[in-house]
Structure 1
Amino acid sequence: MREFDYRRALDVPGAVALLDAVPHARYLGGGTNLVDLMKAGVERPERLVDVRELPLDRIEPSPDGGLLIGATVTNSDLAAHPEVRRRYPALSQAVLAGASGQLRNMATVGGNLLQRTRCAYFTDLTRPCNKRIPDSGCSARTGEHHNHAILGASAHCVATHPSDMAVALAALDAVVSYQTADRPGELALADFYLPVGSTPHRETALPPGALITGVTLPAAPVATVSRYRKVRERASYAFAIGSVAAALDVQDGVVRDVRLALGAVASRPWRARTAERALLGRPADAAEFAAAADAELAAAEPLRDNAYKVTLVRNLIVAVLTELTEESAR
C-alpha cells in the first residue's frame, strides 16, 4: 500500500474542506470496500478523510413522516432499527443479506452507496478495464462474465453494482443528501447512479468533493408490505447473481400500488418501471406478474454466459410478488 495522509473530521464543513485541500483524496467510512481497493492498487488516494466521528449516526423521523438515515449509521444499526423493520422491511432484509455481521458492524450507509463493482477485471491491474482506466477496453465482454449485466450495459462496460441496500432504496424512492463546499444538495436515488454509457468510470451524479450526509425514505404505506429476495451462489457472504426488492398494495385482488427494483442485473440498481406500469390496476396473480416481468426483461441483452439471469429474475419477480399478495390477504 502506498503512503497516504490521514485526517479525522469532526464536523461536515471540516470534512469537505479537508478533502478539497488535496487533489486525490477520499472520504473514509467503514473502509470495507475502499481499503481493499487501496490494497489492490485500484484506489491510490493521497489523503483519507475519516468521517466516522461526524454527527450523522442517527435514524429519526423526517418532516413528511418518513425516515432520515444518517450517512454514518452502520449497516447493523440500520437493519435492526425498529422503524425500519416495521415500515420498510425490504430495506432491513436487504442489509442483512448484504454481508457478514462483522462487515455490517463497520460498513456505513454512505459508504454502501459508493461501493464499487466486484468485477474481477476491475481489480486485476494486468487486464484492461474501462471503469478503472477509461478507454482501455472491457475484458469481461469476451472473458468471465456469468455474473455481469443484462440490462443497461454498453460496449464499454458490463459490470454490475454490488449493493443490496441500494436496490431496496431504489424501490423505496429514497433521496440522497450531500454537502459540498458551496451548498447542500439532494439527489433522488433514481438519478444518483449514472447510466454506464461510454464513461463507466463516472458512476454517480455527486458533484466533485461532495460528502453524503444522509438518506431520506419518504412516507410510503405500500412499503410496509415489502420484501427483498437475493439469489447467490452460496448460502452466505456472497454477492447476488440476481435480486428483487418489491413493495405491493393489493385491494380486492387488484394491484393499487407497486414498487419494484432489481439487483445484479445492471451497473446500478435497476428500477423496473416498465413492470410497475404493466401491473397497476391489473389482477394480482401469477400470470400478470409474469407478463410484467417479461415486459421489463424484453430489453435484456445477455452475453454468452449470463442469459440464465433473464429466467432467474423473471421467476424471482413472480415469486416475490406472489408472496406479497398472500401477505396482503392475511
Structure 2
Amino acid sequence: MPSLWDLPDFDAHEGVHFFSDPASDLRAIIAIHSTHLGPAAGGTRLWHYAEAGDAVTDALRLSRGMSFKNAMAGLPVGGGKGVILADAARTKTPAMLAAFGRAIESLGGRYVTAEDVGMGEADLVAIGRETRHVSGLPVGEGRAGGDPGPSTAMGVFLGVKAAIRQALGKDSAQGVHVAIQGVGSVGGGLARLLAGEGARLTLADVDRARAERLAAELGGATVDAAEILSAEADVVSPCALGAVLTAESIAALRTPIVAGGANNQLATPEDGDRLHARNILYAPDYVINAGGIINVTLEYLGQGDRAEVEARLRQIPGRLETIWAESAASGDTAARVADRMAMALIGRG
C-alpha cells in the first residue's frame, strides 16, 4: 500500500489527522489542506465507507476543494474537511459527537467545522459544546449563518442561470430543461428556485420516493438515479456525491451544460478535459457551490448579516463568467483555469 504522502490526492496537505475514541466508537479524519489564507474551514461529513482508504481519499479531495472554494469566494480562511466513518446504519450518538468536538478542539483553531452530508444543525450544536471552532449553528433572523443548504442552493441557482446565458443565450430559466441528480437540501432547494422561474425539471435521487414527492409538488418528472446524467436536457446538475463525471458518464451526456452543487464532480482532472473536448460548458463545482461556506464563514467571523451573504452570492455568476472567458481566450478547460486561479490565491501558483 502506498504511503499517505504518495496518494494521488495528498497534494501537499499541511496535516491529516486521524482520531479514535473507543468509548464512543468514533473514528474520524480531519484533513487540513491549506491555512495560507486563514484557519482551515470546511464541513464534516458522516458517511459509511466500504473501505477506510475511501474515507481518506474523500477527506483529501474534499479539503483541497475547500481550499479552492474558499479562496475563489474571497474568504479569509483556508481549506479543511472532517470525515466521520459511520457504520452501515450511519449511527450517530451524543458521545460520538462530543468526542469529535474534542478532536476539533485539540487542533487549536486550525480547523473550523460546519455541516455537510449526514450532519445537521443539532449535531453542530452538540459538537459546539466541546469546541468553539464550529459554525452553521442556529442564528436569529437576518443574521449570517445557520443551515448552509439554502445559501448553497441559491448560489448554484445563480450559477446555473449564468451558464444558461453563456451557452444558450437566455436571460431566464423559463422553459429550460434541467435534470437534477440528488434532491436533498441543495438539489431540492435548487429545484424549487428553478421551478419558480418556469424551468422544466427532471429529478432523480437514490431515495426514489423523495424525488417523486418533489416532482409532484413542482410539476416535474423523475427518472431512475442511474439514468439522470444521461438525460437529454439543457442543463445537467449533479447535486449528490462527487466523482460522478467519469470517462463513461461524460461520453453518455446529452446536454450542453453541466452545472451543479456536488463537490468534486470530476473523478479525475482529465474528465474536465473530456467535457471541454465535447464542447460542454462546465461550471467548476467549488466556484458555483460556494454559497454555504460563505454563509457559515461570515457567521464564524462575525462579519456581516444576511444581506451581506446575499450580496456575496450575487458575485458567483461573475466569477464563473471570468473563468469561461479565460477558457475561451486560452483554449484551456474551465476546470484547469479555475484550478490555476485558486492555486495562485493560496500561494501555490
More helix by share: 2
Instruction: Please identify which structure carries the higher strand content.
Output: 1
TM-score, scaled relative to structure 1 = 0.29
Q: Structure 2-normalised TM-score?
A: 0.28
